[in-house]
A and B are shown apart, each in its own frame.
Chain A
Amino acid sequence: MKIMVAIKRVIDYAVKIRVKPDKSGVETNNVKMSMNPFCEIALEEALRIKESGLASEVIAVSMGPTQVVDTIRTGLAMGADRAIHVDYPGTLYPLSVAKILKALVEIEKPGLIFLGKQAIDDDCNQTGQMIAGLLKWPQGTFASKVVLDKEKQTAVVDREVDGGLETLCLDLPAVITADLRLNQPRYATLPNIMKAKSKVIKKLTPEDLKVEIKSDIEVVKVTEPPKRKAGVLVSSVDELIDKLKNEARVV
């Protein structure tokens, strides 16, 4: 069984982001980019399933401009067997990504698609659900535990939901999106980085896959949230009471 993992290149989680002066988006120039943390977790889970013998191959897929290859290399260094880069210079929204993935699924025929639950730049949380809808495959989103059964060709997925944990049994092939507590991703070791250099990255375009990219969404404006007002240090209890009474008006 092949596992396909979709990964996204985003601004590094630890970076302090800045909004561009023209409010058209977030500053990405000279800013550190890395693999989306949830995609990392998804890839890690796929690798573990392969290592336990339940899958034969892990294919990493990413879409976007040429720089995306850096992130793909990280995925290969973690242990993915090969990768596909769908080259597209602009921004891709979840529906377009889902359509491209559907086209790739028809070529590769994987038994399982892993994605991160959402990307940390747009927080959409849509791609996994959309691809499942397009393929008419069962989906287990916000997975915090995945157990495969090769015999029965099912996946038992524990989902993190508002009320607690929900356990679903999905027939394969299926779509699973990873949540934070699914696992702790491995580091890229030097031997694996060395091996990754000889792994294949197939380059395709949306035209090759006969997918038309048209966006129904247009970003109008991006602004920062209002700045939090600084706290005030009071020097005595009386001053505190005075401020509570007269400024905050809560007493």
Chain B
Amino acid sequence: MEKWRAADRLLKFSSRFASGTKLTCTIINYDHTHPLVSECCFFPIPFYCCKSKQGKYFYSVATTVHRNPLFSIISPDDISYFKTLLGERGVVQDALALDAANTDWMGKYRGSSKLLLQPKNTEEVSQILKYCNSRCLAVVPQGGNTGLVGGSVPVFDEVIINVGLMRNILSFDKVSGVLVCEAGCILENLISFLDDEGFIMPLDLGAKGSCQIGGNVSTNAGGLRLLRYGSLHGSVLGLEAVLANGTVLDMLGTLRKDNTGYDLKHLFIGSEGSLGIVTKVSILTPPKLSSVNIAFLACEDYTSCQKLLLEAKKKLGGILSAFEFLDSDAMSLVLKHLDGVRNPLPPSIHNFYILIETTGSNETFDKENLEAFLLHSVESGLVANGVLAQDINQASSFWHIREGLPEALMKAGAVYKYDLSLPLEKMYDLVEEMRVQIGPAAKVVAYGHLGDGNLHLNISAPAYDDNILAKIEPFVYEWTSKNRGSISAEHGLGLMKAAKIHYSKSPETVQVMASIKKLLDPNGILNPYKVLPSSLLSQN
């Protein structure tokens, strides 16, 4: 639905442009003396030359991205080369399929690629990249296309390389729990496969039905179980990646410990496809423990939530596997927009909700432990009320409330999404200040992985509006930077925050990143315009 809305707006813009009418645009009251603003190219929407320039449609001003003139344009010879290499099936030019691949999950970013390639194995990926590098054709690696920062779709006419057909599970060691599979395996399928073997994936996120492991690894996806199983930097034992010039780097080790040289795989984990395309992953999977318990709790204020987390870590330490929070606005939103959801603690909406999950191997012991902890929390006033799931269905319904938030936000209208890492004590201060800042124009909804110090700040408005955006940015980034937080805890930089890295990383660090990018991808064909500021990369 969102995609059609996006397409509709696109048509409106292009038709306006084509008719040559002069367009009046709302100029936002920007503080021109602000150092950030004076640095950027400031063009009011819309723009003059549609072919070479593209503003971020649903975002406003601040920066416009220009298509790099050094990149070639696809020619019929290129198409026939790809057809010979991949067969008819591997080359997609169908408008409908391209439309889907050009648009991100939120319907916020839309590219204009005319070519989608579907390689079936690493060799084909290598040949594609070698060719594109020699022709200087920009490419976008794509998996499940569930990213939230516009990193998985083209900005202009980059060739989309979708690894979705590379979905074989290569091996699974039942003793060590090491799983080796291709990058296009869907996370949920891997979870089902491992379920039969008595293991689980070390990561879990709401997008599991569509996201692919290659994309998860390339973006260092966090998710709901990071608290217990750590980040992918720890659980990925090896990977195979293809560099921009087609070189295949086989780092597909299955060893838990291997201190031989520089551990290059870490460069690819989280670089969002800008240093290479991940084609195979070797991941350590934890055993599936039988006793899972979930409690859904209500707290009156944020201080109680923090204290509860501390208590949970102390009392439930070894078995705590998830600690999520959502505020009253988030709960109201979910109850209103999501199907099959009911308030676990009727009839009122409490100020804060906490979801605690424990995973252990002894059902009786864990349940007693959790119950004792919860009852103590109620007695000491940390928790106002709560429910404990009595069977798996109840447990799923609690998770559905938390996992369904992004979907509910999409249904509610336009959403401005921010994913921030902040010191625990300060986290909710930002939400409250943002509410004051925005006023009645939009609703500020907060939820996230409280256990990891990760806030998902969402501003829900009836429609995308530059006035609202102006109130959010750069306020939210500056606030985060001032409190030494991260402007992207787990979503990555993508296109959305490509020019924002300086809020969270020093200039020297970013300079080294640019050097590495230049080293591994001299022509800059891999996922251009994203992750690092383009100003840095155009310097020689």
A163–B342 Cα gap in the complex (Å)?
31
- Using known A-B contacts A32-B290, A235-B89, determine if residue A190 contacts B375 with beta carbons closer than 8 Å: yes
Whether the pair A34, B375 counts as a contact (CB closer than 8 A) is no
Residues in chain A near residue B396, CB distance under 8 A: 14
- Using known A-B contacts A184-B342, A190-B385, determine if residue A32 contacts B392 with beta carbons closer than 8 Å: yes
Residues in chain A near residue B378, CB distance under 8 A: 190-191, 194
Residues in chain A near residue B388, CB distance under 8 A: 77, 187-188, 190, 193
Q: How many residues of chain A get a CB closer than 8 Å to chain B's CBs? A: 23
Whether the pair B390, A189 counts as a contact (CB closer than 8 A) is no
Whether the pair B344, A190 counts as a contact (CB closer than 8 A) is no
Residue of A nearest to B396 (CB): A14
- B345 CB within 8 Å of chain A: yes
10 cross-chain CB contacts under 8 A = A12-B391, A13-B391, A14-B392, A14-B393, A15-B392, A184-B342, A187-B394, A190-B387, A193-B375, A194-B378
Whether the pair A189, B392 counts as a contact (CB closer than 8 A) is no
Whether the pair B391, A14 counts as a contact (CB closer than 8 A) is yes
Residues in chain A near residue B389, CB distance under 8 A: 187
- B444 CB within 8 Å of chain A: no
- B39 CB within 8 Å of chain A: no
Interface centre among A15, A16, A34 (most CB of B within 10 A): A34
- A30 CB within 8 Å of chain B: yes
- A113 CB within 8 Å of chain B: no
Q: 1/0 per residue A183-219: CB within 8 Å of B? A: 0100111110110000000000000000000000000
Whether the pair A190, B342 counts as a contact (CB closer than 8 A) is no
A191–B383 Cα gap in the complex (Å)?
11
Whether the pair B363, A191 counts as a contact (CB closer than 8 A) is no
Interface of A toward B, CB cutoff 8 Å:
12-16, 30-32, 34-35, 37, 70, 74, 77, 184, 187-191, 193-194, 235
Q: How many residues of chain B get a CB closer than 8 Å to chain A's CBs? A: 28
A193–B375 Cα gap in the complex (Å)?
9
- B44 CB within 8 Å of chain A: no
A73–B226 Cα gap in the complex (Å)?
33
Whether the pair A13, B393 counts as a contact (CB closer than 8 A) is yes
Residues in chain A near residue B296, CB distance under 8 A: 187
Residue of A nearest to B390 (CB): A74
A235–B391 Cα gap in the complex (Å)?
43
Interface of B toward A, CB cutoff 8 Å:
89, 195, 290-292, 296-297, 342, 344-345, 363-364, 371, 374-375, 378, 383, 385-394, 396
Residues in chain B near residue A188, CB distance under 8 A: 387-388, 390
A189–B394 Cα gap in the complex (Å)?
12
Number of A-B contacts (CB under 8 A): 63
A194–B292 Cα gap in the complex (Å)?
20
Residue of A nearest to B379 (CB): A194
- Using known A-B contacts A32-B290, A188-B387, A189-B386, determine if residue A194 contacts B392 with beta carbons closer than 8 Å: no
A30–B363 Cα gap in the complex (Å)?
9
Residues in chain A near residue B387, CB distance under 8 A: 187-190
Residues in chain A near residue B374, CB distance under 8 A: 190, 193
Whether the pair A187, B290 counts as a contact (CB closer than 8 A) is no
For the complex formed, measure the closest distance between the CB of A33 and the CB atoms of chain B, giving whole angstroms: 9
Whether the pair B385, A189 counts as a contact (CB closer than 8 A) is yes
Residue of B nearest to A14 (CB): B392
Residues in chain B near residue A16, CB distance under 8 A: 195
Residue of A nearest to B375 (CB): A194
Whether the pair A190, B386 counts as a contact (CB closer than 8 A) is yes
Residues in chain B near residue A194, CB distance under 8 A: 375, 378
For the complex formed, measure the closest distance between the CB of A171 and the CB atoms of chain B, giving whole angstroms: 34
Whether the pair B392, A13 counts as a contact (CB closer than 8 A) is yes
A215–B291 Cα gap in the complex (Å)?
33
A34–B342 Cα gap in the complex (Å)?
21
For the complex formed, measure the closest distance between the CB of B386 and the CB atoms of chain A, giving whole angstroms: 5
A189–B35 Cα gap in the complex (Å)?
54
Residues in chain B near residue A187, CB distance under 8 A: 296, 344, 387-390, 394
For the complex formed, measure the closest distance between the CB of B75 and the CB atoms of chain A, giving whole angstroms: 27
Whether the pair A35, B375 counts as a contact (CB closer than 8 A) is no
Residue of B nearest to A13 (CB): B393
Residue of A nearest to B89 (CB): A235
Interface centre among A16, A32, A70 (most CB of B within 10 A): A32
A77–B387 Cα gap in the complex (Å)?
10
Residues in chain A near residue B371, CB distance under 8 A: 193
